[in-house]
Amino acid sequence: MYAQMVKSEATNEDPAKLAAFQARIDAGEKIEPKEWMPEGYRKTLIRQIGQHAHSEIVGQLPEGNWITRAPTLERKAILLAKVQDEAGHGLYLYCAAETLGVSRDELTEALLSGKMKYSSIFNYPTLNWADIGAVGWLVDGAAIMNQVPLQRTSFGPYSRAMIRICKEESFHQRQGYDIMMKMAKGTPEQKAMAQDALNRFWYPSLMMFGPSDKDSVHSAQSMAWKIKINTNDELRQKFVDQTVPQAEYLGLTIPDPDLRWNEEKGGYDFSEPDWSEFFEVIKGNGPCNAERMEARQKAWDDGAWFREGLMAHARKRSAAKVAAE
Ligand code: BYC
């Protein structure tokens, strides 16, 4: 439906302007906020950057759940820093979206009313400490695989936000892998916990890249505009190829009996995730959707006094400025 809306709007736009815009994209130029852009380009960016920002913010919840129960002081400090980084990523991304003419309040309202999505992965629970390792290793690993190419995305503010975010994500992935190494090389019980976490997070991590290319409604247009640089399936394949040797090093087994190296394609053949589960999760019916939205709604309500205080302070300052003039 959204893709149709983009198309019909695009037809009302000046073909010469559209062609000149596409030529700039094809030449690898960055598009900056005050420059002319097709309405569909602007809306697609707001949707993608907004969803990305919401994912960073909601993504704090499954890991935040373990800050108070981290096994050592060092692990607690590292996890705390990582979760704070995610908040920062959300803020850079909301700022990038704001340059397109949408406010952070509007984006938050769209999240809370269910009009905007956030990544499916954050609707799965983190049941124990090994899950924090699996999230860092697999979820941040998948996030980096998707975000490194986005550093070259055509919209300037998004691309620049991605450069900083990717540096931090790489530390996040390493901290997750480090937890997995400790657990997988630990006692038999710890190794079993690590395997169980891999079993539960493997397919949800593969789903992070979005539906298969044949079902991806936005990919073709987003790639023509260089909002996306790769297809969902290309990135999923690269993620599997990168992760399998990492699992082997840990002595863990990827929960896919059909996983095997395909010499001809130079990559692994692997089983697709259960796409009906994915579509249910993004419709709001995943294991933790209700809990995540309640937490975000509560945070928004609890922050009302602070937002109102800031506005009152701004009004007083501007009134004092006017009085002094
Ligand atoms: N979850 O046409 P498609 C992180 C939706 S957070 C939910 O392929 P597109 C981190 C899609 O929105 C990682 N929904 O879409 C944070 C569309 O629905 P609408 C977040 C999904 O946009 C804390 C429909 O399915 N990363 O790094 O071309 C701790 C059809 O899909 C998902 C980003 O957001 C999903 N997984 O491609 C740790 C990266 N997949 O909007 C880590 C930026 C698809 O029409 N985003 N949908 O209602 C992207 O690269 C692209 O938006 C996607 C999807 C590849 C995700």
Ligand 1 contact, 44 CB (< 6 A): no
State the distance from the centre of ligand 1 to the C-alpha of 51, rounded, in angstroms: 7
CB 51 within 8 A of CB 118: yes
Ligand 1 contact, 231 CB (< 6 A): no
Residue with the nearest Cα to atom 54 of ligand 1? 210
Ligand 1 contact, 158 CB (< 6 A): no
pLDDT for 237: 98
Ligand 1 contact, 165 CB (< 6 A): no
pLDDT for 324: 94
CB 40 within 8 A of CB 10: yes
Ligand 1 contact, 56 CB (< 6 A): yes
State the distance from the centre of ligand 1 to the C-alpha of 282, rounded, in angstroms: 10
State the distance from the centre of ligand 1 to the C-alpha of 58, rounded, in angstroms: 13
Ligand 1 contact, 47 CB (< 6 A): yes
Strand partners, 267: 262
State the distance from the centre of ligand 1 to the C-alpha of 229, rounded, in angstroms: 14
Q: Token pair for residue 77?
A: 């400090």
CA-CA distance, 209 to 229, in Å (whole number)? 13
State the distance from the centre of ligand 1 to the C-alpha of 120, rounded, in angstroms: 8
Q: How far, CA to CA in Å, does 76 sit from each of 79, 139, 184?
A: 5, 19, 20
Q: Which of 1, 4, 51, 58 to mutate to test the pocket of ligand 1 (most atoms within 8 A of CB)?
A: 51
Q: Which of 46, 89, 119 to mutate to test the pocket of ligand 1 (most atoms within 8 A of CB)?
A: 119
Supply φ then ψ for residue 312, to 5 degrees: -65, -40
Ligand 1 atom having least distance to the Cα of 44: 22
What length does the chain have?
325
pLDDT for 9: 53
pTM given for the model: 0.94
**Local confidence pLDDT in tens for the 325 residues of the chain:** 334 444 445 568 999 999 999 999 999 999 999 999 999 999 999 999 999 999 999 999 999 999 999 999 999 999 999 999 999 999 999 999 999 999 999 999 999 999 999 999 999 999 999 999 999 999 999 999 999 999 999 999 999 999 999 999 999 999 999 999 999 999 999 999 999 999 999 999 999 999 999 999 999 999 999 999 999 999 999 999 999 999 999 999 999 999 999 999 999 999 999 999 999 999 999 999 999 999 999 999 999 999 999 999 999 999 999 999 8
State the distance from the centre of ligand 1 to the C-alpha of 209, rounded, in angstroms: 7
pLDDT for 217: 96
Ligand 1 contact, 54 CB (< 6 A): no
